[in-house]
Homo-oligomer: A and B are copies of this chain.
């Protein structure tokens, strides 16, 4: 009955989510046993203005990127 909640930056393609849901489920079944039908995966898109690391939102970090790279 494992349920996985995946918080990730918004902007992934539907194909990436489909592939990731598949691979995460396979990993659960491989390691824990059980049937794939018992595994739920939920994706939560988080915008860069809603996620901070080190006290700085990621969209702020982006705008602080030095010019040369």
Interface residues of A (CB under 8 A from B): 1-9, 12, 14, 16-28, 30-32, 35-46, 49-60
Contact (Cβ within 8 A) B24 A12: no
Residues of B within 8 A of A41 (CB): 51-53, 55
Contact (Cβ within 8 A) B16 A60: no
* Bound: A51/B27 CA distance, A: 17
Contact (Cβ within 8 A) A32 B4: no
Contact (Cβ within 8 A) A5 B8: no
Contact (Cβ within 8 A) A55 B21: yes
Contact (Cβ within 8 A) A7 B16: no
Which of the residues B22, B44, B49 comes within 8 Å of A17, measured between beta carbons? Answer: B49
